[in-house]
Amino acid sequence: MTANLDYRWHLRQVMATRGMFSTTDLIGPLSERGIKLSSSQVYRLVVERPERLSLRILMALLDILDCAMTDLIEPVPATDQVGKKDRAVGGGDAGVGELRPKRARITQIDD
């Protein structure tokens, strides 16, 4: 049986424990490690939970903050909530069944 896991992103908390309270505090240290991100990209990285994250950025964050991966990423059991993306493709509890449109038939009309 496979466990459904999710995660919590603790970058903002780890930064605060290191005295870094502004998202722009990461721009310089990331740049020193060859990672060029705009201030809005760094803001999203700090404030939002990333769905995709390059390993180079992750390794740079671990180096900058002198922490372990488990300090930034906490595995947690997944909730039963269905995300927007899943609902958009019919992944919700209620199926679409008969609500699906009928396929159009194209017939040639003779003039």
Q: How confident is the model at residue 106 (pLDDT cuts 50, 70, 90)?
A: confident
Closest among 25, 27, 80 to 57, alpha carbons compared: 27
pLDDT of residue 86: 43
pLDDT of residue 100: 55
Tell me the one-letter amino acid at 4.
Answer: N
Cα gap 55→18, rounded to integer Å: 22
Q: How confident is the model at residue 96 (pLDDT cuts 50, 70, 90)?
A: very low
Q: What is the pLDDT of residues 52-94, one digit of tens each?
A: 999 999 999 999 999 999 999 999 998 865 454 443 433 334 4
Q: In this model, does residue 98 exceed pLDDT 60?
A: no
Q: What is the pLDDT of residues 2-46, one digit of tens each?
A: 678 999 999 999 999 999 999 999 999 999 999 999 999 999 999
pTM above 0.95, yes or no: no
Q: Looking at residues 93-99, what average pLDDT do you find?
A: 47
- Which domains occur in the chain, in start order? 5-80 (1.10.260)
One-letter-per-residue 3-state SS of the chain: CCCCEEEEECHHHHHHHCCCCCHHHHHHHHHHCCCCCCHHHHHHHHHCCCCCCCHHHHHHHHHHHCCCHHHHEEEEECCCCCCHHHHHCCCCCCCCHHHCCCCCCCCCCCC
For residue 51 the two structure tokens come to 């769905």
